[in-house]
Amino acid sequence: MNFKNFIRSSFLILASVLIVSCTIDEESSPSGTEKYNTEVAITDAPIDDANVKAVFITVADVKVDGVSLQGFQKTTVEISSLTNGKTQTLGNLDLASGAKSNIVLVLASDTDASGNAPANYIVTANNETKALVTSANEIKVNDSFNVEEANDNRMILDFDLRKAIVTDGSAGYKFVSNSELSSSVRAVNTINAGTISGTVTGDNSAKTIVYAYKKGTFTASESQANGSGVHFANAVSSTVVSGSNFGLHFMKTGDYALHFASYEDTDNDGSLEFKGLLEATTASELSLLNLSVTANSQVSLSVIITGFLGL
């Protein structure tokens, strides 16, 4: 082999090695290594206990796939005030795109952000402070959300107090069991969410609550209390009809059914009890049992209450 052929052969071998090496590197490099800033905020679906004036929780951290909020410091939130689309921003995370299901909301267990005990508590209608007892301070959220390849990801942690807090039998309050608590928080990316809102006429209830279920999942047994005493435990979200208006915010894209429940002080003890499900229809062609929510959409309804179901 002459010198020119040797050089030519060596060059071809080197080029082949480089091509193979680049191919291996491309195939072995993990996808989604680019990170996207994600804002984390918290909101609340309202509690239905008339004796509760306010609920305070102290957030120690939020972790997604083991990544904590950047520079976060313990924060006490009056979460019961964050209804009807109101939120409080907790911080930011840098996350790779894709589905995230390892979401942990960490609550402080000793003191609040000011150093006072208890860390989590309720204020009653007569201004008493009562500690919220919990068996674990880490809530492993039983939900997932997608981080999009965009710079406006915003994860909303929707804390459903109605599901999360019950009386403990001695005029005190506590969080439900760990498994039930995990299902009391939703994780929603606002990029992929919409709103269901409307007005209600023909309703004479002391209080009416709207429950949103994934289409086809509601059964009559939902009106019965579960082991912790929570009614409508499998509702995705809920809201109170205020005046004649209601709004269900941060609803993930999908199909939903709405159910309206009436509450009255039936035993004259000063507290509202579940009276029954209301028969409802809309003033349009929209069906309350088949409502489609798409990203950034707002479904508007005119709801007419015609009586109680089964009466």
Question: Cα(142)–Cα(136) distance, rounded to whole angstroms?
Answer: 15
Of the chain, the end-to-end C-alpha distance in Å amounts to 101
CA distances from 218 to 221, 236, 258 (A): 8, 11, 9
Q: What is the pLDDT of residue 26?
A: 39
- Residue 107 · residue 58 · CB < 8 Å: yes
Q: Is the pLDDT of residue 76 over 50?
A: yes
CA distances from 186 to 23, 40, 252 (A): 41, 12, 10
CA distances from 118 to 51, 107, 166 (A): 19, 12, 17
Task: Please write the tens of the pLDDT for every residue from 30-68.
Answer: 444 799 999 999 999 888 787 899 999 999 999 999 999
Q: Give the HSE-up count for residue 267: Cα atoms under 13 Å, Cβ half-sphere.
A: 5
pLDDT band for 168, please (50, 70, 90 cuts).
Answer: confident
Quote the pTM value.
0.86
The rounded mean pLDDT for the chain is 88
Q: Give the HSE-up count for residue 298: Cα atoms under 13 Å, Cβ half-sphere.
A: 7
State the burial class of residue 291 (Cβ atoms within 10 Å of its Cβ: 0-12, 13-18, 19+): buried
Q: Which runs of consecutive H residues, i.e. helices, occur in the chain? A: 3-28, 161-164, 178-182
Task: Please write the tens of the pLDDT for every residue from 266-305.
Answer: 887 767 789 999 999 999 999 999 999 999 999 999 999 9
| Among the ranges given (45-49, 72-76, 149-153, 304-308), the one the predictor scored with the smallest mean pLDDT | 45-49
CA distances from 166 to 161, 194, 235, 238, 298 (A): 9, 29, 17, 17, 32
